[in-house]
Amino acid sequence: MGQYDVLVCSGTACQSSQSVALKKALLQAATERGLGKEVRFIETGCMGPCEQGPVVRIMPEDTLYVRVQPEDAQEIVREHLVNGQTVQRLLWIEETPRPCDLPFFARQHKNVLANCGLIDPSRIEGYINRGGYDGLKQVLTEMTPQEVIEVIKDSGLRGRGGAGFPTGKKWEFVRESQGDMKYVVCNADEGDPGAFMDRAILEGDPHTVIEGMMIAAYAVGAQRGYVYVRAEYPLAIARLRTALGQAREQGLLGARALQTDFPFDIELRMGAGAFVCGEETALIASIEGRRGEPRPRPPFPSQSGLWGKPTLINNVETYANVRSIIRNGAEWFRSIGTETSKGTKVFALAGQVCNTGLVEVPMGITLRELIFDIGGGVPSGKRFKAVQTGGPSGGCLPEALLDIPIDYESLSKHGTIMGSGGIIVLDESSCMVNVAKYFLDFTAKESCGKCVPCRIGIPTMLDILDRITKGKGTKDDLVRLRELAELVRSSSLCGLGQTAPNPVLSTLRYFEGEYRAHIDDKICPAGVCGALARTYTIDPNKCRACDLCRKACPTEAAQGTPGGRPYTINEALCIRCGACAEACPFDAVHTIPLKAEKKR
């Protein structure tokens, strides 16, 4: 029997699904059979298919087992490790042991996540064995800072935090700024609900971020770095702390990195639950120990940032791309993706989708491929309704736009943004008015309060949406909503306020019918909004079997025979469009509350 590596996914999600107990059970089972030397158990970062967790991957033959429980440990050790047989019942798809053959993985392109799920993130050796810190070595020994900046510019890498600003250009601005002290900051605040890409990178491969920051520091001329991590990520904080300590021990961070003249060290700073601190100037204020209130720009952080010094701020995923660009070259990176959006993007798939989890795909892949081929589509036989991207700053795209390519320009053209990578799939049970309200509720609570358009504009919009969902909406409300949205968007001080109207604007753009149903018909078609969760029914006493409703109905829910018995409406088929009510000349169609079990 050869050497086996048993990789146990130990990201936060799998941990909460018993991966720790699982690893213990596997270790025990192996020890009982005297397999100490032949098997290595490695706790790795996120492998990606979180819905199927806990996940175990056995090398070298590359077999992926899913939904593994501690009780399965004996069988895996006995059948796979000792007898060399695949445990079929623990495979995701029958007869398909290798991840690369599974639909979830087949179209992915792991670059940023190359190590995630394959190495033990608590040991620097795993990172170094896979080429870790080679990029830094190359940069320090063979390249000038200007050359590094040129490579990053040529690659076309754009900020992965959401705004998509050309990274090389930003580095150049910081390089050119005057200052006796410069800083490099990593934005690990990841506040978008539904986003967990940065979490996975920090927990699963922290050194790739450290190396990226160091290369950036060399390029821009910085001496100190900070990683600003949100407090809600205790595991990421712990892994980072450990990794920083290891980097210092290895003579990477500190007074003389790799025995060169490059002094650089990194400190951690914890956030404290403020979404606005993901905005770069608010983040700076937070590191300075103050309330996270943004400042007007210019001056931009690249000229005057942390404590007034030139500061480079980039997102976790942006730094995680740096090493591979240095090692493989700008042209390699440019060969992936679209004309304007190069490279890959890590996405967090969540919501009403079968395969929730973490994926990395080349830019340019379509939403349909992401949600249906990789994501496995919508579960429980429900219909796809919309996909929400970009968190509270983004928008919702309908089914008709599923074939657009995922890149910065394409998404913004259609009224949403790439954002940091959170993708929420919504099915027919979601009310789009309610979704808009949900996001405004969030941004209203997270507003720092400094500027009037955001502080007062957002709650005012929220108020209108609230009334609409309670059946008190009027036609004027939609006019007012659009006016306010434009006002808040154009005059807010920072990105939070400027993008807060996006969920409202995009749902108005693609789902205006739902707003009208709430306002004109006092009905919530999705059956979500409290008292408006109603459906249509026909009063048998008034119905004359004239057949007009059946002809008007787009889903064949209105049923009956002309001149026969009173018509009926099949509730399961009814989409609450109201066409039958409009068509009926006898006022026989009215609404009744949806049965309780149909409500969300």
Partner 1 sequence: MTQKLASQLNERIESYVGCPEELIQVLHQVQEKLGYVPTEVQQLVAETLGVPLSRVYGVVTFYHYFRTRPVGKHIIRLCLGTACYVRGAEGVLKTLQDELGVEVGETSADGLFTLEVVRCLGTCSLAPVMMVDEVVHGRLNAEAVQELIQSYRKDENK
Does 600 engage in binding with partner 1 (CB under 8 A)?
Answer: yes
Task: Using alpha carbons, select from 405, 407, 458 the residue that is nearest to residue 436.
Answer: 458
Three-state secondary structure call for residue 39: strand
- Of residues 386-405, those binding partner 1 (CB under 8 A): 388, 391
Stretch that binds partner 1, among 212-220, 268-276, 363-371, 504-512 (CB under 8 A): 268-276
CB 172 within 8 A of CB 303: no
Does 274 engage in binding with partner 1 (CB under 8 A)?
Answer: yes
- 261: which 2 tokens? 């003249």
3-state per-residue secondary structure call for 216-276: HHHHHCCCEEEEEECCCCHHHHHHHHHHHHHHHHCCCCECCHHHCCCCEEEEEEECCCCHH
- Of residues 422-451, those binding partner 1 (CB under 8 A): 422, 424, 426, 430, 438-439, 442, 446, 448
- Buried b / exposed e along 318-339 (16+ C-beta atoms within 10 A): bbbbbbbbbeeebeebbebbbe
d(CA 390, CA 220): 29
> Across 162-205, where does the E strand assignment appear?
183-188
Among the residues of 492-547, which ranges form H helices?
495-499, 502-520
d(CA 204, CA 117): 7
Orientation of helix 502-520 relative to helix 432-446, angle to 10°: 130
Neighbours of 100 (CB within 10 A): 10
Does 191 engage in binding with partner 1 (CB under 8 A)?
Answer: yes
Least separation in angstroms between residue 533's CB and partner 1 is 14
Least separation in angstroms between residue 448's CB and partner 1 is 8
Does 12 engage in binding with partner 1 (CB under 8 A)?
Answer: yes
- Of residues 112-141, those binding partner 1 (CB under 8 A): none
Nearer to partner 1, 164 or 191 (CB): 191
First CA to last CA distance, the chain: 54
DSSP 268-310: EEE--S-GGGGSHHHHHHHHTTS------SSSPTTTS-GGGS-
Q: How many CA atoms lie within 13 A of 54 on its CB side?
A: 26
Least separation in angstroms between residue 64's CB and partner 1 is 16
Pattern 200-239, binding to partner 1, x per CB under 8 A?
Answer: -------------------------------xxxx-----
> Across 523-567, where does the E strand assignment appear?
534-538, 558-559
Least separation in angstroms between residue 348's CB and partner 1 is 6
Least separation in angstroms between residue 441's CB and partner 1 is 9
Burial class of residue 190, CB neighbours in 10 A (0-12, 13-18, 19+)? buried
Pattern 351-380, binding to partner 1, x per CB under 8 A?
Answer: xx---xxx----------------------
Asked if the peptide bond before residue 299 counts as cis, ω within 30 degrees of 0, the response is: yes
Nearer to partner 1, 287 or 363 (CB): 287
Least separation in angstroms between residue 278's CB and partner 1 is 11
CB 448 within 8 A of CB 492: no
Q: For partner 1, which residue of 13, 222, 468, 589 counts as binding (CB under 8 A)?
A: 13
Least separation in angstroms between residue 457's CB and partner 1 is 20
Nearer to partner 1, 348 or 411 (CB): 348
Least separation in angstroms between residue 531's CB and partner 1 is 16
Q: For partner 1, which residue of 109, 158, 175, 199 counts as binding (CB under 8 A)?
A: 199
Least separation in angstroms between residue 245's CB and partner 1 is 18
Angle 317-319-323 (CA atoms, 0-180°, nearest 5)? 115
Cα-based distances in Å from 356 to 52, 172, 195, 371:
8, 38, 12, 10
DSSP 300-342: PTTTS-GGGS-EEEEEHHHHHHHHHHHHH-HHHHHTSB-SSSB
Nearer to partner 1, 4 or 442 (CB): 442
Q: Residues binding partner 1: what is the number (CB under 8 A)?
A: 54
Pattern 283-312, binding to partner 1, x per CB under 8 A?
Answer: ---xxxxxxx--------------------
Residues whose CB is less than 8 angstroms from the CB of residue 399 and which lie 6 or more positions away in sequence, other chains included: 384, 385, 386
Least separation in angstroms between residue 276's CB and partner 1 is 9
Least separation in angstroms between residue 294's CB and partner 1 is 13
Q: For partner 1, which residue of 103, 145, 166, 193 counts as binding (CB under 8 A)?
A: 193
Q: For partner 1, which residue of 106, 255, 272, 573 counts as binding (CB under 8 A)?
A: 272
Stretch that binds partner 1, among 187-195, 336-344, 461-469, 590-598 (CB under 8 A): 187-195
Nearer to partner 1, 240 or 349 (CB): 349
Does 195 engage in binding with partner 1 (CB under 8 A)?
Answer: yes
Least separation in angstroms between residue 388's CB and partner 1 is 7
d(CA 261, CA 145): 13
Q: For partner 1, which residue of 196, 218, 262, 372 counts as binding (CB under 8 A)?
A: 196
Residues whose CB is less than 8 angstroms from the CB of residue 511 and which lie 6 or more positions away in sequence, other chains included: 386, 396, 398, 432, 433
Least separation in angstroms between residue 239's CB and partner 1 is 13
Does 417 engage in binding with partner 1 (CB under 8 A)?
Answer: no
Nearer to partner 1, 414 or 599 (CB): 599
> Residues in the site for partner 1, rule: CB under 8 A?
12-13, 15-17, 50-51, 53, 190-196, 199, 231-234, 269-275, 286-292, 348-352, 356-358, 388, 391, 422, 424, 426, 430, 438-439, 442, 446, 448, 600
